[in-house]
Amino acid sequence: MVYDWEIEIPPLTGGRKRKAYIYLPDGYDGVEDRYPVMYMFDGHNLFSDKEASYGKSWGLAEYLDGTRTRLIVAAAECNHEGYCRLSEYSPFDFTMRGEKIRGRGKQYMDWLVKTFKPYIDANYRTLPDREHTAIGGSSMGGLMTVYALSAYNKYFSRGAALSPSLWACGGSVPDFVQKTKYRKNTVLYMDYGSKEFSNHGIQQKCFAETCSALIEKNVHLTARVVTDGTHCEASWERQIPFFMRVLGFGAGGRIKS
């Protein structure tokens, strides 16, 4: 079951409202079990075609219900105004189409770990420890996933970065990857569609070099180039079974280290 409610993110948008979403697994109301949690970006694109930006969601609830995965998913809607999504979902400043984008990813992640996560842990039967907490997203949300797993590694033990916008780093391995000393058993699934590489000339190089850097830092990385993969929710939906297995959310939703 998916529920939504209105929230505010004062450090970013003051008192303006946006939606938050939570998926609760089948049987949540019938037992007193606690569940691992996956925090995700672009919550409006995860569950409902009617709310998805381009009319197609990930269909995530249907997958989780169909596989009886015992997992809570919590996510906030992005900021839809102009380039605000790009700003909130980037940990650094960058330029796109001649427009300077101010990176406010740190403010977003500070809100997520200091306000949103404590709220979810206080109001739902979560397993709040690092081992049972994951993060995931696509595109700029994929970039933020790599950033969160690096700069906020004490909160998240695993992540799924689909089509991460590494091109925004300017052609090099992200500085936050270079600086991070990852904790043991940090797990990352990262992919990119074969048809996407032509969208940004430096993306293939960034992807390959970032994968190498993560492996050298002992991150348990699973990296894929998705045959005929494109930059859209329909393509990302098809990757759900792959990243769920990598993150350990298999039968029963138990994390398997």
The least confident of 19-23, 98-102, 204-208, 253-257 is 253-257
Q: Which tens digit of pLDDT belongs to each residue from 53-107?
A: 999 999 999 999 999 999 999 999 999 999 999 999 999 999 988 889 999 999 9
| pLDDT at residue number 256 | 39
Predicted TM-score (pTM) of the model is: 0.95
Element (H, E) at 144: helix 140-151
How many of the other CB atoms lie within 10 Å of CB of 191?
25
Whether 250 has a pLDDT exceeding 80, the answer reads no
| Greatest Cα pair distance in the chain | 54
State the residue for tokens 């990930």: 58
| pLDDT at residue number 251 | 54
| pLDDT at residue number 120 | 98
How many of the other CB atoms lie within 10 Å of CB of 184?
8
The arithmetic mean of pLDDT across residues 6-34, rounded, is 94
What is the Cα gyration radius of the chain? Answer: 17
CA–CA distances in Å: residue 98 to residues 95, 144, 171, 199: 6, 22, 17, 16
CA–CA distances in Å: residue 246 to residues 25, 29, 238: 19, 27, 14
The arithmetic mean of pLDDT across residues 8-19, rounded, is 96
Q: Which tens digit of pLDDT belongs to each residue from 132-163?
A: 999 999 999 999 999 999 999 999 999 999 99
CA angle 173, 179, 185 (to 5 degrees): 95
What's at 235, amino acid-wise? Answer: S
